[in-house]
Structure 1
């Protein structure tokens, strides 16, 4: 049984060892997979990382506990419980906790986050979080003199600096893999990246950068419906050659085009921002709906999702806004976004209209809950949030059914537009990012783009136009940046920032 009376130095060291043993298997699994661990240099890297991990955590824990035993204990309890949840998600979904993943977590709403709940997650939390917390609470910490503290603190810091100097020859490898290593080191992965997330968020949101004035060039009625897909990867669309018929409606639709495309990010906030931005940038420029609304276009945003940049328009409609006018089972799914859509377009007093539908149809891990029962075309399906417990056949079947349902929703959007005879109309469907479905033992999305597999960034870019007179350029490969400039072109809006090279229409 562990002692319940420990000197602060010994307690910090014990906590560092426990933290190392409980939470760093994924970290060293990555290291062993990416170096020659049998070579002398590989052995040096591994030993150095083990020692550095324990020493760095001891350094921090020792400092926090000396400042205040209560504050230090509170932080340790917080770290262990968050570590337990973090390591559950890393082991279950093969994620890396970088700044973008922290953004995903902080921007996820309750409805989506509750879908990740599982018994396995509770077990992780109890054994790796709550039980160590009980030990932390019960242990009586014996303080040391300021002289002894500064001596130990200084020696630890000196040791870390010497370790860094000794490994100077390995910094190239460490730097190359720093994003992954940093995203797997506990508790630094989320603590550092949460700080960075809020620093960058504050910087971005200081002031929206307005774009130059645009001019509507004619009075011809035109409407664009931009459907932003969620986690839809092109690989599973039969339009793109997938062997299973996941596009029974779109495959028979005239004036429909599909293009190969890539996303600018593997997470929702980054992907949606890229779709709405006029150029690839981290700055907070005025996004497409805000820009067009300010320049006298009727703009409507309907969403069952989250994660978009700040939207400043009059008609911003969430599920709860649409629910009173929706009837039937479809109201529980993304079909709710189509409620009264045609009527809203016809009621507009403007010549130019932009409708944005932000869906959530293919968002995991509960793919089988994202479509009505009649769309369960492929069986059997995965019904577990622990995707690794399902066979890949079950997992892919459930995901493919979300694509079948997406096909049906897009078909209905097109049918509504067909009835608007006095309008030139187009529908653009672009996904925010792709999705991993067990390939290379990866699930869902959110890996840094530099190391993400193609399943997480190869996305569908589908275009329908209302008549043969509207021609498209023979594009080979598109990106999310094509959306902004193509919408301006279709609505015949002149702007100094319009880039004809990024416009898909002739």
Structure 2
């Protein structure tokens, strides 16, 4: 039957059919979670499943009834079909949920990262669940009742829906209430309502951000150890490198006991201290990066607060350091807005460390010795890695680091075995091992040849799911997120002259390496490591505080 020959349909029937389609065809992730939350597939649960379907269809239909007017209903349904098909694809494929932070990730991602998420499977899903029903709706002849009758039908539909929903919910309350209460994440899986709720929450926070920036740590100054060094005639400059990793999860670092040798170089680095139990502030870059550089800590963090207040790099600037952010990712998410920023992620023609789409992380180290040598003041340099950003893990490292295999070489992860996905991811960790080792070697050489006191602190922004519990990538709401997305690597290297200058007891730090830490410690530990005095410094969150003598 050709679309143009479709028989006319009463407008109220269209909204019922559309509601049923959205509930049943576009919410596989929700129903999978719902069935699991109610005890798994059981014949005795059939009434519960049917009741839940009926309630959701009535809810969707109720809202569609409110916009069921000749100029509105078709554009609204087409928009919903396209939106829901796309969101359904990402939830089904990667096991993600859609909340405000996920919307923020979408808004703030760059074109290259977005391109990695495109696939033929996405196109097929959108064509089947989005474009095809949209074409049918667009060509479908609709019959609308008279204005008076239409009003009566709408009122009757709304009233009847409410009565039926209340009745069904009362009958099923004993089973539904515990499931909904204990599995609140289900609301983040019901599409398209999750998209609207998440977008509303994101915009509310975004628009609430004030245009003025509150100063922080303007009293910051270099402390007693700096004065003691000057009195002793020590005029060497300091260079501290903060390496912000991307999507590196702690459990895939052999330094933390992983079975594969993903850290062969770092394992041999003299003086390296690895902190094995560190939690991130968030599960996505857009949250973790501004959070870790703020003074708030995870419990008090909000995007609006972070954007309205200066952070760690500002405090260091107030204390007299030159601060530079070198980026091989998608920006600093506001953390470096008031310091020098250089974007090194764009491909450079003829550079062997870049391809047509992006540059490998080693590009961040090019010219760094000269930059340090020519600096006139004490330096803090942030290196923001591309790291292990997925799903195109195989693109994150040069060919010579393709040690573990076979590897998944497509962003359509459903076409790959879990073993090949993990192998590709482990190769990114192997390359990060090399990158960090090269950074340390560079700082060690600068310390020896140019008389500069050097240090490096590395931490990842968040982790990554690689198929555990059928979840992939990252960005899960923190409350429901798995350890794979929250537990991150963190490690420290100090030159001998840096440790001597600031009276840091390495054996004391090594003894603390197995203790529980988090991103909350980074702000205060950086200030403590550099002996910066300010009222915003909290020694209780400074992992160096117990290991520094003579402060």
TM-score, with normalisation over the residues of structure 1? 0.92
Q: Structure 1's 485 and 70: CA in aligned 2 closer, same or farther, altered over 3 A? A: same
1:253 equivalent in alignment to 2:292? no
SS at match of 1:329: coil
Give, in angstroms, the shift of residue 269 of structure 1: 1.1
Give the corresponding residue for 1:355: 381
1:293 equivalent in alignment to 2:317? yes
- 1:92 and 1:4 map into 2 onto residues whose CA distance is 36
Deviations 1:271-320 (A, max 9, x none): 11222111221122322223323443211111121263323234201126
Matches within 5 A, 1:32-47: 32-36=35-39, 45-47=48-50
Q: Structure 1's 295 and 4: CA in aligned 2 closer, same or farther, altered over 3 A? A: farther
Deviations 1:335-387 (A, max 9, x none): 11112112212222223x21111111201111011101011111211112122
- 1:175 and 1:89 map into 2 onto residues whose CA distance is 25
Deviates more, 1:362-371 or 1:34-43: 34-43
Deviates more, 1:159-168 or 1:183-192: 159-168
Give the corresponding residue for 1:20: 23
Deviates more, 1:436-445 or 1:472-481: 472-481
- 1:209 and 1:153 map into 2 onto residues whose CA distance is 51
Give the counterpart of 1:495 among 519, 523, 534: 534
Aligned residues: 501
The Cα RMSD (Å) is: 2.4
**Native 8 Å contact 1:299 1:313 kept in 2:** no
Deviates more, 1:428-437 or 1:30-39: 30-39
Give, in angstroms, the shift of residue 193 of structure 1: 0.7
Matches within 5 A, 1:322-361: 323=348, 327-329=351-353, 332-351=359-378, 353-361=379-387
Give, in angstroms, the shift of residue 7 of structure 1: 2.2
Give the corresponding residue for 1:76: 77
Gaps of 5+ in 1: none
Give the counterpart of 2:415 among 381, 389, 394: 389
Give the counterpart of 2:489 among 434, 444, 460: 460
Give, in angstroms, the shift of residue 110 of structure 1: 0.7
TM-score, with normalisation over the residues of structure 2? 0.85
SS at match of 1:299: strand
- 1:212 and 1:424 map into 2 onto residues whose CA distance is 24
1:447 equivalent in alignment to 2:460? no
Give the counterpart of 1:312 among 326, 329, 337: 337
SS at match of 1:450: helix
Q: Structure 1's 440 and 36: CA in aligned 2 closer, same or farther, altered over 3 A? A: closer
Give the corresponding residue for 2:461: 432
**Native 8 Å contact 1:433 1:456 kept in 2:** yes
**Native 8 Å contact 2:242 2:382 kept in 1:** yes
Q: Structure 1's 38 and 300: CA in aligned 2 closer, same or farther, altered over 3 A? A: closer
Give, in angstroms, the shift of residue 4 of structure 1: 4.3
Give the corresponding residue for 1:221: 237
Q: Structure 1's 141 and 207: CA in aligned 2 closer, same or farther, altered over 3 A? A: farther
Give, in angstroms, the shift of residue 415 of structure 1: 1.4
1:264 equivalent in alignment to 2:267? no
